[in-house]
Structure formats: structure tokens, C-alpha cells
Amino acid sequence: MVKIRIDDRELEVQEGITIFNAASEAGIPIPHFCYHPAFVPEGTCRMCLVEIEGVPKLELACSTVVRDGMIVSTQSDRVRDGRKGVLEFLLAEHPLDCPICDQAGDCKLQDYYEDYGLYESQFSEVKDKHDKKVDLGKHLIHDQERCVLCRRCVRFLCEVTGTEDLGVFERGSHTEVNLYLDNQVDNNYSGNLAQICPVGAITDKDFRFQTRSWFLEEAESICPLCSRGCSIQIGYHPGFSRFSLPKRVYRIRAKTNETVNGYWICDLGRYGYRYLDENRATNLKARDSQSRIQWDAAVTLLSEKIKRLYYMKRTSRITVILNSALTNEELYLAGKIFQKDLTDVNIFFADAAPESGDDVLLTSERTPNRRGALELGFDLKPVDMDILSSQTDLVIIFGTHILETHSLSDLSNAMENIPAKFVLAPHTSDLDPMVDMVLPSTHIAEKAGSLTNIDGLVQSFQSALHPLGESQAEWQVLVDLGKELAINFKFYGQFSNPKNINREMGKEVPFFGK
């Protein structure tokens, strides 16, 4: 540890770290463009200037390592003038098209101009022209006039994906970032470029001109599309329901999570957000009823049907199809009800089929909680169609993934003679006409709980969005069902949120008690 002073703060910091990192740890902001914690500092934007006592020149915070006794000033007049000079250069040839720029409101050039600029422009020359619409590939557009040449994008493609599609060409005022030959940026991580570009130079085709960033709110969640469990940030319009806007969710971005995904997410997770709002099941539907049903009536009906079989000692004729996109807490409750209380229920899992992963983040398991299901003792058996067709009197299907592995005709043949059929799923699907009742549920972004990723890391999360329409989280439905069944009422009576379910689960399953 070394002792340093930054402005008025006496700090004790790790030896060998940079002034920038020491300042960040202490919450002292330092303006920067080229520095990004994922990469070795390159020191090219020159925005992070600081003054070090006894050093004649201004130095770079991003690349200067702390020394014991160092006295650093981040706000002296010299520092402010230095930064202002750099910013003036960055803005001199900049097109100043903020009114039509997606980055506006979220842009370091704007932020720092508020902090350090606020000068009258002294640039009275004709600005250089560059290409404003370079198509970089499937998801991205590059505006060379807005580019500050921080090389974050270039470094990302060298160091993270290794695809090296972008390079720096020409020099001096002609310097530009561009594609090598006829390359395209079309790897599964390309969307990160729009996110790490500190200005509006790389924009996301999916987000371009859709909304203004200041209309959006951001909430954290976990990506459910593979078993990595990347932290995500969902940008949504809070006034969606009131203003009948075309979209609720406008974008998903990576949320920094050092232990899981670092600073990135894959394009599958980034652009896969449509599942959040498209084809949603928003109302309870019962086949033989024209009038609307309420949740409590639906749960009572379900529980009555289960109880009848239970009293007849025929629970072996109940089939439950779970999935590993359910949270640990939900799977724990399902296990409790269907395995412990009702004893010999048939339990199967229907999940999205595995696909090939890569060695960055994406795993081949396209479901977020396989590991959690295993730790809870499920054997993740796939659906046995014989049992479904000839040994089932009541089926509850969680989710709609079964449609990915079985044909519609096989399913409808198998289910034809089952007297009681229920679906509990976030999306409408071809299952709906086959069953007696469709119960709308939520997905990960609309609920709280925890997931166990491929490495066995249990990550809890809060709900980011309100459940759409009448949809309810599965844990809530299972708690209500448990209470209604009244086999073990007291046990379910104690649960009012995923947290207390989690606590109980930790007592019972040592893996979750850690």
C-alpha cells in the first residue's frame, strides 16, 4: 500500500495502480475517452490530464502509476485549462449534430463540455468532411465525423473477439477508423462496440432514431438466454403503458460484472430482448368460459383437480413439465409441492435445445438455470410421450419450450385424452388451444429471485420491469397453489417474496445455504 493525496483526500491505495484507478476508487471523477478498464491504457485522447506536484508537465491519470507520497491535483486551474484545450480540439472538427445523435444525453463529449468547456467557439474554418454512414455489419453504423479515435472499438475486436475487423487508416486529420478490406463486424459480440464507443460514432441499427436516451430508464437484470448469467441493463420507457408507445423495452446493454461477464454481453442477449414484449400472454384464459377468470379462481380450480387425484391416491397420474428458466426459488417450490407433498408426480423438463457456444461468454446451454435444477435434485428428464399420452390425467406445462422439441401433432395426439390440462407461460403459443386454461406468467426481467450459472455461481436479482397485464411470477403462483392444496399450508403461508423462499431453501439444500 502507498499513501497519496488526490485533491484534499489522503488515500491509501494499492501499489502499482494508476492515478485513474486510485481516483475512481475514491469516487473522484476523471474525464476520459480512450481509457477503458478492459484494456491496457493507450494514453491517446489526452483528456485525463492531472497535475502532479514536482512534475513540470501535466501527466496522464490513466497511465501514470502512483508513487508513495504523490500529490495529485485533478482540479487545479492548469488541469482545467489543459482539459479544456484537449476538449476544444476534440470538438473543433466535430459535426455537432447532437439533435439527431442517438448518443445525446449519454455522451462524454456533452458531459465534459458542461464540466470543462463552455467557451465560445474559435473555430472559423471549413470543417473536414468524412463518411457519416459506414455500414460496419449486421448491427452497426459508423459515423466518422463523430469519431474521437479512442480506438476502443479497434482494441475490442483485437483483444476480445480476435476478429480484427476494424483498423485505423491514414494519418493526421485524415485519420479514420474503418473496416479492413471487405471485412464486416458480424461476430456475436458486435453490439458491445456501440456500447463502449464513448460518443455517437458507432450506433446500433436496432436503436438508431428510435427514442432519446433521456426518455429511458435503466434497470438491472440477468440475461436468461444461456447459462452464463450475464448482468444486463434494460433500457425501457417508463411511460409505456400510459402513452401507448410502440415499444416498452428499447435496448439491453451489458452491466459490468467482474466475476461473470466483465463489461460485455453477446449479441444474442443484447438483441434478443424482443421476447420480453412480443407474443406475451397477458390474460388468463379458460377454454369453456366466456367470462373472465381471476387468478384466485384459477388457482382454486387447479388445486381442486389436483386434490381429487391426491385423495384417490392417483398422483402418479399427474404430469408436470418444468423448465430450467425458472428461478432456484421456483424450482424449489415446485419440487416441494410435486415431489414431497404429492409424492409420485411425473416430472419432466422441457428446455430450449442446446446450441454451440463460444469461448467468450455464450454457453451451449440456452437456458439460465440448469445448474440450479441439478443442485435441487432434479434429474432433468425430457418429456416421456408415453406417460403423457397414456398415464396422465392432469398435466401442467410450464413455458412453451416443449414446442421446440415435439411436433404439434404429436403433442395434440398425446394430450387429446388428458382430462385436465394447464399451461403457465409468459408467451402465447400453439399450446394454448390444446389446454383448458392458460395462465400468463413472467420472465426473468419481471421477477425477483436467483439463478445458478454454469459455474455454480448463485446470483440474485430484483425485478426490472412490471409484469405485463395479468401475468404473475411463477413463484407467486406456486405459493398460492401450495396454500390452496392445504397439504402443508403453514409451510407456504410463510412466503411473501423470493427472499424468504431463498432463506428456507438454504436451510434445506446446503448448496444454497453457503
Q: Is the dihedral of CA 495, 375, 455, 478 positive or negative?
A: negative
Among 11, 47, 196, 362, binds ligand FES (CB under 6 A): 47
Residue list 33-72, contact with ligand SF4 (CB under 6 A): none
Q: Does 45 bind ligand FES (CB under 6 A)?
A: yes
- Among residues 149 and 485, whose Cβ is nearest to ligand FES? 149
Q: How far is the CB of 181 from another protein (least distance, A)?
A: 16
Residues 138-197 that bind ligand SF4 (CB under 6 A): 142, 147-153, 177, 197
Indicate the residue whose CB is closest to ligand FES.
Answer: 62
Q: Nearest to residue 282, comparing CAs of 399, 436, 442?
A: 442
String marking each residue 21-40 x if it binds ligand FES according to CB under 6 A: -----------xxxx-----
Return the number of the residue (33 or 492) whose C-beta is nearest ligand SF4.
33
Query: Least distance to ligand SF4 from the beta carbon of 96, Å?
Result: 15
Please choose which of another protein, ligand FES, ligand SF4, none residue 202 contacts, taking the beta carbon within 5 to 8 angstroms, the exact cut-off set by kind.
ligand SF4
CA distance 469 to 296: 16
- Smallest distance, Å, CB 108 to ligand SF4? 9
Q: Which is nearer to ligand FES, 43 or 117 (CB)?
A: 43
Given a contact cutoff of 8 angstroms between Cβ atoms, the answer to whether 417 and 387 are in contact is no
User: By C-beta, is 57 or 507 nearer to another protein?
Assistant: 57
CA–CA distance, 138 with 474 (Å, rounded to integer): 36
3-class secondary-structure state, position 514? coil
Among 11, 19, 60, 153, binds ligand FES (CB under 6 A): 60
All 3 cell numbers of residue 23?
Answer: 481516483
Rounded Cα distance between 5 and 23, Å, is 10
Question: Is there a contact between 296 and 480 (Cβ–Cβ < 8 Å)?
Answer: yes
| 350: partner contacted, choices ligand SF4, another protein, ligand FES, none (Cβ within 5-8 A by kind) | none
Residue 202 touches ligand SF4, criterion: CB under 6 A: yes
Complex with ligand FES: residue 43 or 506, whichever CB lies closer: 43
Q: Rounded CA gap, 174 and 255, in Å? A: 34
Binding site for another protein (CB under 8 A): 41-47, 49, 57-58, 63, 82, 85-86, 88-90, 92-93, 122-123, 125-126, 128, 148-149, 168, 170-175
- Angstrom CA distances, 404 to 325, 333, 351, 355, 440, stand at 15, 26, 8, 13, 19
**Residue 182: which residues within 8 A CB-CB, separation 6 or more?**
none
Smallest separation (angstroms) from ligand FES to the CB of 49: 8
302's contact among another protein, ligand SF4, ligand FES, none, with CB below 5 to 8 A by partner kind, is none
**From candidates 91, 101, 141, 201, binder to ligand SF4 by CB under 6 A:** 201
Residue 338's closest CA among 323, 325, 322, 351? Answer: 322
Radius of gyration for the alpha carbons in the chain, expressed in angstroms and rounded:
28
> Residue 377's CB: how many other CB atoms inside 10 A?
12
Cα–Cα distances in angstroms (integers) from residue 226 to residues 94, 99, 447, in the given order:
40, 37, 18
Residue pair 348/386 in contact (Cβ under 8 Å)? The answer is no
Among ligand FES, another protein, ligand SF4, none, what does residue 152 contact (CB within 5–8 Å per kind)? Answer: ligand SF4
Q: Which of 6, 19, 22, 48 forms a contact with ligand FES (CB under 6 A)?
A: 48
Q: Which is nearer to another protein, 131 or 296 (CB)?
A: 131
Residue 174 in grid coordinates: 485524415
Longest dimension (CA), the chain: 90
Q: Letter for the amino acid at 428?
A: T
Residue from the set 23, 50, 58, 62 that interacts with ligand FES by CB under 6 A: 62
Which of positions 304-363 make contact with ligand FES (CB under 6 A)? none
What is the C-alpha separation between 147 and 90, in angstroms, rounded?
9
Binding site for ligand SF4 (CB under 6 A): 142, 147-153, 177, 197-199, 201-202
